[in-house]
Amino acid sequence: MKLGLTAAMAMGMAGWIAHGGEGQNFSNGWKFLPGDVPSAKNAAFDDSAWRELDLPHDWSVEYSFTTNHAGGCTAFLPGGIGWYRKTFEVSAAEKGQIFRIDFDGVYNNSEVWINGHYLGKRPFGYIPFSYELTEYLNYGGKNTVAVRVDRSAYLDCRWYPGSGIYRDVKWVAHGPVHIEQYGVFVTTRGDRVQVDVTLKNRMNAAEPVLLKVDLQDAAGKSVGFQTLEMDLAAGAPAVGTLAFTVGNPERWEPDHPYLYRAEVEVVSGDRVLDRATTGFGIRDIYNDPDKGFFLNGEHMRIKGVCLHHDGGAVGAAVPDAVWERRLRYLKEAGCNAIRTAHNPPSEAFLDLCDRMGFLVQDEAFDEWFNPKDKRHNFNAKDVDDLTRGYSEEFGDWAERDIKAMVLRDRNHPSIIQWSIGNEIEWTYAGYSDATGYWDKENEVSYYWDLPPFSAEEIRERFSVSQKRQGEHILAEQAADLSRWIKELDTTRPVTANMVMPSVSHFSGYADALDVVGYSYRTVLNEWGHEHYPEKMICGTENWVQWEEWKSVLENEHIAGVFLWTGIDYLGESRDWPKRSTASGMLNTAGFRKPRYWFFKTFWKEDEPLVYIAAQPQADSNYLLKNDEVVENPENPRDKKWWWPEVSNHWNFEVGEPVYIELYSNCEENELFLNGKSLGVRKLADHEDRLLKWIVPFEEGSLKAVGRNNGQVAAIKTLHTAAEAVAVRLKLDKKTLRADGRDAVHCVAEVVDEKGRSVRHRTHRVRFSVEGDARNIGVDNGNSSSVQDFQSDRCETDQGRVLMMLQAGKTKGDIVVNASVDGLKGATVRIQQQ
CATH annotation of 610-719? 2.60.40.10
| CA dist., res. 540 & res. 731, Å (int) | 35
pLDDT tens per residue, range 776-831:
999 999 999 999 999 999 999 999 999 999 999 999 999 999 999 999 999 999 99
| CA dist., res. 807 & res. 830, Å (int) | 10
Question: Which pTM value belongs to this model?
Answer: 0.94
Q: Are 546 and 597 in contact (CB under 8 A)?
A: no
- Tell how far CA 25 is from the center of its chain: 22
| CA dist., res. 470 & res. 620, Å (int) | 48
Nearest to 396 by CA among 371, 425, 418, 369: 369
**Predicted local distance difference test score (pLDDT) of residue 8:** 28
Q: Assign domain 726-832 to a CATH class.
A: mainly beta
| CA dist., res. 758 & res. 818, Å (int) | 16
Write a three-state SS string for 693-729: EEEECCCCEEEEEEEECCEEEEEEEEECCCCCCEEEE
Domain 726-832 in the same topology as domain 19-174: no
pLDDT tens per residue, range 525-535:
998 999 899 99
CATH annotation of 19-174? 2.60.120.260
Q: Are 208 and 231 in contact (CB under 8 A)?
A: yes
- Which secondary-structure segment (H or E) carries 353? helix 347-356
Q: Are 583 and 562 in contact (CB under 8 A)?
A: no
**Predicted local distance difference test score (pLDDT) of residue 449:** 47
Q: Which amino acid is at 327?
A: L
- Give me the sign of the Cα torsion angle 269, 273, 276, 282: negative
Nearest to 77 by CA among 585, 569, 796: 569
pLDDT tens per residue, range 294-314:
999 999 999 999 999 999 999
| CA dist., res. 459 & res. 474, Å (int) | 16
Grouping H, G, I as helix, E, B as strand and the rest as coil, residue 533 is coil
CATH annotation of 177-280? 2.60.40.10
| CA dist., res. 179 & res. 655, Å (int) | 74
DSSP assigned state of 644: -
Domain chopping of the chain, boundaries: 19-174, 177-280, 302-363+410-600, 610-719, 726-832
Residue segments in the chain with a per-residue pLDDT below the cut of 50:
2-21, 377-380, 383, 437-449
- What architecture is the 302-363+410-600 domain classified under in CATH? Alpha-Beta Barrel (3.20)
